[in-house]
Structure 1
Amino acid sequence: MRSLSRLLIAATASLICVTQAQAFDTTTQSLIKSGYATSQVTTGPFDNKLILAAQDDAAAFIASDGQLRGAQLEAALMYLRQAQPKLHASDLELAQAILVQ
């Protein structure tokens, strides 16, 4: 009888651990999926060398509150607007997005 109760306790404890592990896995899985989808949406057009080369110009543009507009930034903004015609972001917003890449 004593070994039966120990066996029952061990079985119950293992089920609790498995349930917690599955809950953690489900939570982690959905978090990873949403993070991956977000990264694909936000970095898709920025995987271009033209965009990455414009980071210094983007920093100057942001720091000068839009007064300094370098040639690389202008080229990157034109590329983004042509590649993403439905993109309705200001030059400042695009410069900020370029800078964080």
Structure 2
Amino acid sequence: MSRLRLLSAAALLAVAANAHATSFIVTTDAVVGALKSSSDATSDASSSLRDNKIVRAARDDAASFVASNGDIRGVKLESAIDEIHRQLPQLNATDAQIAQAILAI
């Protein structure tokens, strides 16, 4: 193989490897940034709910709701669900998911 072809192939390989590594780094940075933003928002929301007296008072009702597969709906749980929907209008969760989240807080 001629020396010019060998140098051209090596240069092309170096450029391709550099472009691939750069796109990987940019993609990784974007994914990590998005996850961090989502995690920060979730953390802020859960910490504000954790400190909410209405939500904390609903733990027993949430446990009854989960244990009965939704048959037992206490007044405190209903109040907490309303409070959570008021604080987080963008939340798209079922009552069962909210009850489980209250138990996890």
Give the TM-score taking structure 2 as reference length.
0.57
> Residue 70 of structure 1: CA displacement?
0.3
- State the AA in 2 paired with 1:65: N
Superimposed CA distance per residue, residues 11-69 of structure 1 (whole angstroms, 9 cap, x where no aligned partner): xxxxxxxxxxxxxxxxxxxxxxx6x8353343333320110000000000000000000
Q: Distance in 2 between matches of 1:51 and 1:98?
A: 7
Quick check: 1:59 aligned with 2:60? no
Q: Structure 1 runs of 4+ off > 4 angstroms?
A: none
Secondary structure of residue in 1 paired with 2:71 = coil
Q: Which runs of 5+ in 1 are unaligned?
A: 1-33
Instruction: Report whether the alignment pairs 1:93 with 2:97.
Output: yes
Q: 2:82 aligns with which of 78, 82, 92?
A: 78
1:69 aligned onto 2:73: yes
Residue 81 of structure 1 aligns with an amino acid whose one-letter code is H
Percentage identity across aligned positions? Answer: 43
**Equivalences, count:** 67
Name the Cα RMSD after superposition.
Answer: 1.7
